[in-house]
Structure 1
Amino acid sequence: MSGNIVARRYAKALFAFGEKQGAAELQAYGEELSRLAEVLGGSPEVMRFFKSPVFNRDEKKGVLGKVLEAAAVRPAMKNFCDLLADKNRLPFLPDIAGAFGKLLDAVNGVVRGRLVTAVELPEARRTDIKNKLEKQAGKQLELDYAVEPGILGGIVLKVGDKVLDASLRAQLDILKETIKRGE
């Protein structure tokens, strides 16, 4: 089974459990999973430990207990992580957190995207662009901002699986192809 499929299945199961508990619990599970993913993402040696077949389940659960203690998670999340340890799925925890976050965003009507510009935008301009895009989409938008001088000018907006490339680099590439074809 692919890691992505495994992560989605476990995320859906935890999400369904959280929905039965209520919206507040669902949000709490999302926050706890994010914290755990950050802790594990910042510690590649722990992830290598969880992936290693050399260590048995009890040793992995011992290390997991310390990680969960540091992340201060609720008993239900501890039980979920113990289940992952029993099924040898701990390495998928960051992917599960990502899949759970996507499910949570869908329920909350949040769309995540990335806005790439050639130069750093002032905060007022960022807010203005975000507000206009939210108005167009009719949903709350969470944007990550990046600067990539290689686009020369304009913007590249990536939302979900859609890309709007309104950069000067893209326009020049189109012009170059048009000239090559002799149109």
Structure 2
Amino acid sequence: MSNQNLNNKIAIPYAEALLSFAKEKDLIGEITQDLSSISVVLSESKDLQNFFFNPLVSNLLKRDTIKQLFKNQVNDFILNFLLILVDRRRISSLSIIIDKYLQLVYELKSISIAELSSAIDLNDLQQETLVQQIKLLTKTNEVKLLVNKNPDLIGGFIIKIGSKIIDASLLGKLNRISLYLSAS
């Protein structure tokens, strides 16, 4: 079993427990915000990631660091949750746990996540039109659009929604023409 599959298997029960608690206490918004903030902190600091993921660093030191960083910054339940992850030597799975939790929340709230790669920056009107079309396509109430610019596409865009990919880029069209011509 690959390390990624193992981390996913570890993350799912923790994410489900977080969601269950959040629903029970009616704290989905607050816990989602806290976990998103923690995710941003981790993604912006490679040193912090390396510190938490290093098995040679003592759990006591990791616990003290978590308390210093997040005490009075996040819900007490989330702080205790982080400390439990340290105690159970699962803190290295934190990013995956947060991702799984967010996926579960988005499913619960009928939110789709769409990744847009375009050759140029789209204006607000173009993005809103695209969001409305994605809502119709996915039959969801809300769409979270993650936009990134990729000049290699030459023109057009690529949208990823879950496992679906819509390639309306010039590069994609050129590749399809190339495949067609080489097969002939």
> Counterpart of 1:178 in 2: which secondary structure?
helix
> 1:55 and 2:57 equivalent?
yes
Q: Which string of whole-angstrom CA distances, capped at 9 and with x for unpartnered residues, describes residues 94-125 of structure 1?
A: 22111111110000000001122222222211
In the TM superposition, what is the alpha-carbon distance from 1:179 to its structure 2 partner? 1.8
Count of aligned residue pairs for this structure pair? 179
C-alpha offsets along residues 153-176 of structure 1, whole Å, 9 cap, x if unaligned? 222111111111122222222222
CA distance in 2, matches of 1:54, 1:133: 46
Structure 2 residue 41 is matched with structure 1 residue 39: yes
Match of 1:13 among 10, 17, 36: 17
Equivalences for residues 57-76 of structure 1 within 5 A: 57-69=59-71, 72-76=73-77
Identity, in percent, stands at 22
In the TM superposition, residue 86 of structure 1 has moved relative to its aligned partner by 0.8
What is the Cα-based RMSD across aligned positions, in Å?
1.7
Alignment partner, residue 107 of structure 1: 108
C-alpha contact 2:119 2:156 (8 A) present in aligned 1: yes
The DSSP-based 3-state class of the residue aligned with 1:114 is strand
Aligned partners of 2:71 and 2:79 also within 8 Å? no
Secondary structure of the residue aligned to 1:144 is strand
Q: Aligned residue for 1:148?
A: 150
Aligned equivalents of 1:28 and 1:66: distance in 2? Answer: 20
- Counterpart of 1:7 in structure 2: which amino acid? A
Per the alignment, residue 165 of structure 2 pairs with: 163
Spell out, residue by residue over 1:55-92, the C-alpha distance to the aligned partner (whole angstroms, 9 max, x if none). Answer: 3222211111112127x112111211111111011122
> How far apart in 1 are the matches of 2:176 and 2:57?
55
Contact (CA 8 Å) 2:113, 2:144: kept in 1 or not? yes
* Compared CA separation, residues 174 and 16, structure 1 to 2 (3 A): same
Using the TM superposition, give the Cα deviation of residue 181 of structure 1 relative to its aligned residue in structure 2, in angstroms.
Answer: 2.3
Gaps of at least 5 residues in structure 1 are none
- Distance change (3 Å), C-alpha of 1:119 and 1:111: same
Bigger Rg, which one: 1
TM-score for both structures, normalised by structure 2? 0.89
TM-score of the two chains, using structure 1 as the length reference: 0.89
In structure 2, do the counterparts of structure 1 residues 176 and 44 end up closer, same or farther at CA, with 3 Å as the change threshold? Answer: closer
CA distance in 2, matches of 1:11, 1:97: 7
